[in-house]
Amino acid sequence: MADGEQVEGRTRLRIYETMSKIHQVDERVRGLLMSGKIAIIYYSPRGQESIPSAVSAAMESDDYTVTTYRGVHDSISSGASLDEILAEMLGKATGTSKGKGGPMHLSDPNSGLMVTTGIVGGGLPIANGIALASRMKGLNRVTVCYFGDGSTNIGAFHEALNLAAVWDLPVVFVCQNNEYGEYTPRRETQRVEKISTRAASYGIPGVTVDGNDPDATYLVAREAVARARDGGGPTLIEAMTYRFMGHMFGDQMPYMPSDEMAARVAEDPVPKYRALLIAEGAATSAQLDEIDQRLSAEIDQAVERALAAPMPAAGELFTDVYGEVPA
């Protein structure tokens, strides 16, 4: 990345649009939960919108995404259909996996959203496999694998980084470091200051970036994606961020200091990026309002369709589960 390089206006608008979409979808989902209209397990990505919005702007549309239970932001960024994402979260027949996956298992291979896993650290070895398959098939697609800071204490993280390094796999490992794993602050489970330093153990580049700065994140991701595509192997990106809603919906967050939370919420990446784009003349406030309103209408319709969609029929229980339905 060239020092002081500016991100193109078009790319910045695309990033803003994805951030706004994630933000608004999250608000709708939490609204439905609070009103009791739906009852699902939900891990809000609120506060982390910027990371996949920026990273996906550096990807090609047929590149692959692997993510976790806290992954609705990553899924939206991957380009998967919002209708299908929402329907799957509600267990409906019109969802990405016809309602059999649920909120923790969103996958839509047609749009490159390959895996969402609830197994902490479980996505990394799978990302390696997808990257290897892409290379063997000569597809030249890059796999972006998102995971949390807590995942970097799991053996699979270390094994996957090592294997990706020795095989020069076209993977970009993106750690969304939100400073907490479930109900435990990171400093109680790791001695390393920066998770990116762990890349040195495997001989690959490791970069820490402010994940709530979309421009900086985009530039770092663009370099890592290009390196992976050109056969240069994997990169570990540590994108610094914060969770505004705790671990899962309903978390009262007693273990998160309120002054720490207040300071981070004051730096909310969504309004901050909006203000930056306006201040730098990259967009007018009317232009951004128009984007927000268009998305709002789209999301309302997608929510209505997901709510109205049918549940899977009982007779579908074994469809897509077994090659041959057991007697």
Ligand X SMILES: Cc1ncc(C[n+]2csc(CCOP(=O)(O)OP(=O)(O)O)c2C)c(N)n1
Does 149 participate in binding Mg ion (rule CB under 5 A)?
Answer: yes
Q: How many residues does the chain have?
A: 327
Of the pair 134, 178, the CB lying nearest Mg ion is at 178
Does 148 participate in binding Mg ion (rule CB under 5 A)?
Answer: yes
Does 74 participate in binding Mg ion (rule CB under 5 A)?
Answer: no
3-class secondary-structure state, position 252 = coil
Q: What's 98's DSSP letter?
A: T
Radius of gyration of the chain, Cα coordinates, nearest whole angstrom: 19
Contact 202, 165 (CB under 8 A): yes
Which residues 6+ apart lie within 8 Å of 270 measured at CB?
19, 20, 23, 49, 50
Residue ranges that bind ligand X, judged by CB under 6 A: 70, 118-120, 147-151, 178, 180-182, 247
Contact string 105-144 vs Mg ion (x = CB under 5 A)? ----------------------------------------
Of the pair 210, 316, the CB lying nearest ligand X is at 210
Near Mg ion in 176-195, by CB under 5 A = 178, 180-181
Does 151 participate in binding Mg ion (rule CB under 5 A)?
Answer: no
Of the pair 261, 307, the CB lying nearest ligand X is at 261
Of the pair 148, 170, the CB lying nearest Mg ion is at 148
- Residue 213's binding partner among ligand X, Mg ion, none (Cβ under 5 to 8 angstroms by kind) is none
Q: How far is the CB of 176 from Mg ion (least distance, A)?
A: 7
Q: How far is the CB of 78 from ligand X (least distance, A)?
A: 17
| Region at 98 (left for phi over 0; alpha for psi -120 to 50; beta for the rest) | left
Alpha helix (H) residue ranges in 90-145:
123-136
Number of residues engaging Mg ion in binding (CB under 5 A): 6
Nearest residue relative to ligand X (C-beta): 148
Q: How far is the CB of 163 from Mg ion (least distance, A)?
A: 23
What does the DSSP assignment read for 187-251? GGT---S-GGGGGGGGTS-EEEEETT-HHHHHHHHHHHHHHHHTT---EEEEEE---SS-SSTT-
Q: How far apart are CA 154 and CA 215, in angstroms?
A: 30
Does 217 participate in binding Mg ion (rule CB under 5 A)?
Answer: no
Q: Which residues bind Mg ion (CB under 5 A)?
A: 148-150, 178, 180-181
